[in-house]
């Protein structure tokens, strides 16, 4: 088992062109849409494989990973290791939310090659100096049921699972997290801004509810 956590990363220098306060003092803008800040989840968690990038890192991409002069990241066989197109923007803008409103960001992956995922994430840049590895506040990256992942996130952050919003492409193998109260959004064709907005609105409708729920993609 490999638990990858750590302190919250420093704020982005200069805001990175990220979100701003919305129409009212109680509103916050996220990737171009405005939400009442009190309805935002306290944790937003992403799976990685087929959620943030379009492959399984443990079977589809082999180390070492390197960034070419053009910025493109490739694996040992020269295969592209790009994120889904909207993912850099999503992670940058969530990271750049005002501190008082920003949810904790987390990654939860069941990959059997956590070291490979870490190596690739560290050379995957989201813009400026921020890497994919730097983006989350907390990481739970190891094989097994995600019940364990979310229990560890709850213990590390002090946030109850029913205040967490989770994006993942695998519904069948993750239904058990609903037992904890997690709000689960199915990702069918990779993470994108539209799905982020849909998930945040859906979560807002269930704000304060302790039961787990599933939004099918």
Q: Where are the alpha helices (DSSP H) in 74-209?
A: 87-95, 114-123, 146-157, 193-205
> Which segments of the chain are extended strands (E)?
3-4, 27-30, 33-36, 43-46, 66-67, 73-74, 104-109, 125-127, 130-131, 138-141, 164-168, 183-186, 213-215
Pick the catalytic residue: 49, 137, 168, 169?
49
Cα 169 from Cα 67, distance rounded (Å): 27
Q: Where are the alpha helices (DSSP H) in 38-145?
A: 57-60, 87-95, 114-123
Pick the catalytic residue: 27, 47, 134, 176?
47
Question: Active site includes 47?
Answer: yes
Q: Are 27 and 35 in contact (CB under 8 A)?
A: yes
Choose among 113, 111, 120, 133: nearest CA to 76. Answer: 120
Cα 6 to the chain's mean position, in Å? Answer: 16
- What tokens does 208 get? 């304060």
3-state DSSP assignment of residue 4: strand
Name the residues annotated as catalytic: 47, 49
């Amino acid at each position: 088992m490999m638990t990858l956590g750590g302190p919250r990363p420093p704020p982005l220098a200069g805001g990175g062109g990220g979100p701003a306060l919305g129409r009212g003092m109680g509103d916050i803008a996220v990737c171009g849409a405005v939400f009442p800040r009190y309805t935002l989840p306290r944790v937003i968690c992403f799976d990685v494989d087929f959620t943030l990038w379009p492959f399984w890192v443990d079977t589809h991409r082999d180390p070492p990973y390197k960034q070419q002069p053009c910025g493109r990241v490739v694996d040992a066989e020269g295969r592209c290791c790009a994120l889904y197109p909207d993912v850099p923007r999503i992670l940058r803008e969530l990271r750049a939310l005002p501190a008082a409103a920003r949810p904790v960001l987390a990654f939860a992956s069941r990959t059997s090659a956590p070291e490979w995922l870490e190596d690739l994430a560290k050379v995957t840049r989201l813009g400026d100096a921020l890497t994919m590895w730097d983006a989350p506040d907390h990481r739970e990256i190891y094989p097994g049921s995600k019940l364990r992942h979310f229990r560890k996130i709850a213990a590390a952050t002090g946030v109850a699972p029913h205040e967490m919003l989770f994006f993942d492409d695998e519904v069948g193998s993750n239904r058990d997290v609903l037992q904890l109260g997690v709000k689960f959004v199915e990702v069918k064709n990779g993470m994108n801004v539209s799905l982020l907005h849909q998930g945040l609105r859906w979560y807002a409708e269930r704000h304060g509810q302790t039961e787990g729920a599933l939004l099918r993609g």
